[in-house]
Amino acid sequence: MSGRALSFGARAQAYERFRPGYPAELCDLVRAYAGEPIRTALEIGAGTGKATRPFAERGITVTATEPDGAMLAELRQHVPATVTTVQAAFEDLGPGETFGLVYAAAALHWTNPDGRWSRMATLLEPGGVFASFGGPIRLADPLVEEAVRTARAPFLESDEIPSPDGTPPAQDMQWPGTELQRSEWFADVQQSVIERRMVVSASDFVGQLSTISAYLELPAEEQEQVYRRIRQVLPETVEVAADITVHLARRRPPLAIQR
């Protein structure tokens, strides 16, 4: 677990305020893939519970894990009482209880790649479902996007996280689907995209940027400068593309795993 992965706690309230939630369509997609009722779920890197709520509200018993204490404290203010919360990184989770669903919302790239999928499999019931979903929030207008890129350039070349396994952006199957396809532990890998467009105020867009790890790693003075520069080039409201890329896979039965 890198320091960058633990940079969000100082902005927990902003994360809750400015990051968009997840639509009912996402839960429906995961449940349709499962093909049978999902009763229990384990969430990895739950943050402030943006993806905890929709699954818990559909009657799934969710255990939400999060390594950052400040983020977990914020989560506890917003999720149903039926949610079990645990302060732990993915790497801290030992074998024991298994779940019908294990999922990560914009958090899987923070986990250690060494033994990632064998560890994931030990957390799932045989035939259980793994889901990973998320995606960057981009300005829909290319001219506004270019203006923001220019304003940001003295401080950051990019604010996005590159593919953890180097998959080119143009490739049909994206990470983590690429790793799942290579893993002996998982089968039936699927990728789909839920398209979302929304209009937000310029201030809220900058607020959302202030929850992104690339900005949080900058010195405080530089953070203030880059936010101010970006705000100056934005119109009062902006349209953003907040598409959700969803990867689904099923744990293979133990006898199907090659040894």
Span 205-258, pLDDT tens digits: 999 999 999 999 999 999 999 999 999 999 999 999 999 999 999 999 876 555
* Separation between Cα atoms, residue 2 and residue 157, nearest integer Å: 21
Q: pLDDT by residue (tens digit) across 97-111?
A: 999 999 999 999 999
Cα-based angle 27, 14, 6 (whole degrees, multiple of 5) = 80
Place of tokens 């934005």: 234
What pLDDT is stored for residue 255 in this prediction? 60
CATH 3.30.460.10 assigned to 4-134+165-196+242-256:
no
- Residue 42 three-state SS: strand
Show the beta-strand stretches assigned E in the chain: 40-44, 61-65, 84-86, 99-105, 124-134, 138-139, 186-194, 197-201, 237-241, 244-251
Q: Count Cβ atoms below 10 Å from residue 116 Cβ, excluding itself.
A: 18
**Residue 186 to residue 258: CA distance in whole angstroms:** 11
**Where do the domains of the chain lie?**
4-134+165-196+242-256, 138-161+199-240
- How far is 130 from 41, CA to CA, in rounded Å? 10
Residue 256: per-residue pLDDT:
56
Strand segments, DSSP code E, in 70-123 are: 84-86, 99-105
Rounded distance, CA 189 to CA 251, Å?
Answer: 10
Task: Pull the structure tokens for residue 223.
Answer: 């953070």
Predicted local distance difference test score (pLDDT) of residue 136: 95
Mark the ranges of the chain whose per-residue pLDDT is less than 50: 1-6, 259
Confidence (pTM): 0.93
3-state secondary structure of 240: strand
Are the C-beta atoms of residues 131 and 26 closer than 8 Å to each other? Answer: no
Which amino acid is present at 169? P
Report the half-sphere exposure of 253 (CA within 13 A, side-chain side).
2
